[in-house]
Structure 1
């Protein structure tokens, strides 16, 4: 293998990867991805619009839903340009600083989504386990503070990761394995010591998605315990039905994440395009499915969407 001199970060150019082995069909592959982006952007945009414009939805549960839709929009926009740029124009080059910025926002919105799901679990816990104090605990000012805390938490945890990327040297390969910049992908290309980067990346994963998933699980253990203590079956069903949408959102966030981890760990013999497609789908599933789940499973959202989009039909 030929050796390459060290390249400074200011002049470094990375090359993104489309779908290895399926380059000839990337134009066709772009069609479902483009449909997913359109669905995610329009769906989350509609959710935000109806919650903002409909005064009947100005409640804590729907405020948290606006946070979820905002993070989903951010996640879509973070990968949209590079992914469709590769599929449509074969635009594979990206500068180091642009790559670092994209890495930061992808991870930031992923961490924020995990945090919002935890906040929504707390919302359901209060609504079911302590309904009389629901409105006094989850006031608008406290919800704003929660949103600010989520943003600060993600920034503080992730900022050291992206700052340490500038200290890495790259001298052998500049080809990334995804159609977007991904922190583990970047540090694997480094020819300098990346142990600190790797440890901090693992730490960030544990203190965000790892801790959040544990608290979400504990919340639902307490919720289920409270629901089972309710005598009438109709009341049990009504209480549990308020959690269905959130359970679906948690499932579509964590199941693809766990599946991707298993593929990377145990699917080393799988074709490269399997890893690449799963990594792309993992970032698209939550933004695409969340608006659909909440529109179908939440009657108030469904009614508000019909009222805003089809005002004449709603009057009939």
Structure 2
């Protein structure tokens, strides 16, 4: 049973309608993330009310960092979840749509999951195969549905994470459990990793909306450290054996090693570990 906390915000758009149909990419928004656009093909005069629904009782005075803005052409609205430093109470965002001349009965109710980014994160180490494993429980008698991990705040998500499998698919009427795994890729770069919000989304063949399933706050632990190169080795003999169509050349090498004291991690050095120099002739 959900309880509701009403925000007294009514916004106007277009001419009267009897039924409404809205389009949106996903049914969830992440705190501090991009706005979610919700649009209707009908330009009609109606008002929106914004509220929240809590699993039990909404705490009095609890933060509600969500705003609603109508679009300029009055055919929809934007939802924005502002970032804060508070672990917010679990809630669902509710948007009621009313006829402008009759706000006693809503024409449509839309619900969106609020994803908090202030939860205590799980720790995963870069380059170490110890993945986050999640078992997806899918009910039977549904259209074909797929589940996959995403990070809506990270544009480099596909480059930074390894997913095995990329997604799990349940065929039409198939129920059961399947496992998703995700692990940070070793990027051979020393840098700070911001906390990330990984969302498992589901998408079925009967609708284009990405539905919320579950989310996790994750902190990636850096596996790379700054290193230093050893001294260059002596030059090799002049050769063209490896690449017979190249001019004669010789090489020297150096290694990237830990800076003492050694606190572990993969040493990363800037520069080349191999140098080449042309030779006048090969022996």
Q: Under a length normalisation based on structure 1, what TM-score does the superposition of the two structures give?
A: 0.18
The structure whose residues are more often helix, as a share, is 1
Larger Rg: 2
Q: Under a length normalisation based on structure 2, what TM-score does the superposition of the two structures give?
A: 0.20
The structure whose residues are more often strand, as a share, is 2
